[in-house]
């Protein structure tokens, strides 16, 4: 069944090529297609395009389909093109002409648009809900290990003393900025395109504000041409927000791989969280972090991929946009899985103590010695020169006491301030309003 089919049938090869993986991708959208339809039919009844009885019947059947989807019992029939066709077919089989009326005043274009926006909005909420406990873990570990010093590096060369408190805390604060960009993407997604039809509106007296409220959107995509132009743009912005989170995880994973290396030996993990070698019995490989790194680097490529796929497309709908789903949709689960497995690893991390007592790290304290001289009244350039000459002559002396007190330093991590920043970022999301709206639509 195809919503657009008339009396001619496409060549089988053409049909297979154009459908591609769309049926598989549509299963991500199934629940949201029903939700969008529930809002649409309520609006149709309000403007006289459905009777009250037809609305009640359609609502009952759509909610029944929604329950099937939620329970995992829903499938796309082999001869049905997509989720939109499947839902309409089921309604028509049950209700006859009433089922055929559900598509009045909309196109598959705006139907897909609203499905994708509802899907992405939901996935962004789940992503934030996955990030929050990982952020809490990073902060907890930051406080737990704030007195455990480790080398800080620039250019991968020994630089200055750092601490595991700083290390964990840095990634916690990085996630704050990542969540802020997720909120920006959420704001772009949280606009209603329904009613734009094929991109040029409708001659029916539809009420787009009503569907906006019913679906919990903040506002409309007002201009119907832009509503269609926004497809691809919204996905790219969402992909960039995912890429930001992925970048934080990839960098953390690279650090973990280095720190686990025997030449560093700063951290270790229980055997059951690492893997071995088929030939080298001593190996404890950081496969989890290596795979997180690779998954996340692939997600970082998504915005550019989407940008290139939409390059030079004129306004209006184009079939190119269908392919955006194939890498973006699964990326949400991949990223959430990476966050959760990283949480498992960091919960069980073992930190080596007294790392900096090893003589090979003595030059980490050169700046500390310069600063001590400055505190006695010596000009900084003179202190710098003296310590440098002591190093060159082999007369450098130091102690491992570190006394950093300014905001965000080893001795003043500002954990609570960073936590407050994250709380502020998260409470800005209108999750309660959105979930209340959706709950009202699907409840019996």
pLDDT of residue 81: 81
Instruction: Check pLDDT > 50 for residue 15.
Output: yes
pLDDT grade for 334, boundaries at 50, 70 and 90: very high
What are the residue boundaries of the structural domains of the chain, listed by start?
12-103, 111-148+162-195+222-354+414-431, 358-408
Are 12-103 and 111-148+162-195+222-354+414-431 the same fold in CATH?
no
> pLDDT tier at 50 (50, 70, 90 boundaries)?
very high
Q: Is residue 8's pLDDT more than 90?
A: no
Asked if residue 10 has pLDDT above 80, the reply is: no
- Name which residue leads in pLDDT, 444 or 222: 222
Tell me the whole-structure pTM to 2 decimals. Answer: 0.93
Q: Identify any residues that bridge with 285 across adjacent strands, giving them in sequence order.
A: 275
Band (348; pLDDT cuts 50, 70, 90): very high
Can you tell me the distance from the alpha carbon of 358 to that of 260, in angstroms, rounded to the nearest whole number? 17
For residues 296 and 249, the answer to whether their CB atoms sit within 8 Å is yes
Find the range with the poorest average confidence among 11-15, 128-132, 211-215, 353-357: 11-15
Give the CATH number of domain 12-103.
1.10.275.10
C-alpha pair distances (Å), 184 with each of 176, 181, 187, 234, 280? 13, 5, 5, 11, 48
pLDDT, tens only, 366-388: 999 999 999 999 999 999 999 99
Task: Give which of 250, 256, 233 is closest to 299, Cα–Cα.
Answer: 250
Q: Which CATH architecture has domain 111-148+162-195+222-354+414-431?
A: Up-down Bundle (1.20)
The mean pLDDT value of the chain amounts to 94
Least confident of 277-291, 337-351, 395-409: 277-291
The pLDDT value recorded for residue 4 is 46
């Amino acid at each position: 069944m195809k919503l657009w089919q008339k009396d001619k049938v496409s060549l089988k090869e053409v049909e297979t090529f154009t459908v591609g993986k769309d049926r598989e991708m549509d299963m991500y959208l199934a629940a949201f297609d029903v939700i969008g339809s529930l809002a649409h039919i309520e609006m149709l009844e309000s403007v006289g395009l459905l009777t009250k009885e037809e609305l009640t019947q359609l609502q009952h059947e759509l909610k029944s389909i929604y329950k099937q989807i939620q329970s995992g019992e829903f499938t796309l029939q082999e001869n049905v093109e997509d989720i939109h066709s499947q839902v309409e077919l089921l309604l028509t089989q049950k209700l006859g002409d009433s089922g055929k009326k559900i598509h009045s005043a909309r196109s598959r274009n705006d139907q897909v648009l609203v499905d994708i926006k509802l899907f992405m909005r939901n996935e962004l909420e789940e992503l934030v809900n996955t990030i929050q406990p990982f952020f809490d873990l990073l902060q907890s570990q930051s406080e737990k290990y704030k007195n455990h010093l480790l080398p800080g590096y620039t250019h991968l060369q020994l630089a200055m003393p750092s601490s595991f408190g700083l290390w964990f805390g840095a990634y916690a604060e990085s996630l704050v900025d990542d969540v802020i960009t997720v909120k920006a993407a959420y704001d772009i997604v949280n606009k209603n395109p329904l009613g734009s039809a094929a991109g040029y509106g409708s001659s029916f007296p539809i009420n787009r504000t009503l569907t906006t409220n019913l679906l919990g959107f903040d506002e409309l995509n007002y201009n119907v041409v832009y509503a269609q132009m926004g497809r691809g743009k919204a996905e790219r912005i969402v992909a960039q927000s995912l890429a930001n989170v992925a970048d934080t995880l990839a960098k953390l994973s690279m650090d973990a791989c280095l720190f686990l290396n025997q030449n560093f030996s700063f951290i270790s993990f229980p055997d059951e969280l690492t893997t071995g070698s088929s030939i080298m019995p001593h190996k404890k490989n950081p496969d989890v972090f290596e795979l997180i790194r690779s998954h996340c680097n692939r997600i970082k490529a998504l915005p550019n991929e989407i940008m290139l796929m939409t390059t030079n497309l004129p306004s209006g709908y184009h079939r190119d946009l269908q392919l955006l789903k194939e890498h973006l949709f699964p990326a949400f689960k991949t990223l959430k899985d990476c966050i959760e497995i990283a949480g498992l690893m960091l919960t069980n991390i073992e930190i080596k103590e007294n790392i900096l007592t090893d003589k090979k790290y003595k030059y980490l304290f050169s700046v500390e010695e310069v600063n001590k001289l400055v505190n006695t009244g010596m000009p900084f350039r003179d202190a710098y020169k003296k310590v440098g000459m002591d190093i060159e002559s082999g007369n450098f002396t130091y102690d491992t006491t570190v006394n950093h007190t300014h905001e965000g330093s080893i001795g003043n991590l500002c954990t609570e301030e960073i936590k407050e920043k994250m709380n502020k970022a998260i409470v800005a999301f209108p999750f309660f309003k959105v979930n209340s709206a959706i709950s009202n639509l699907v409840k019996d």
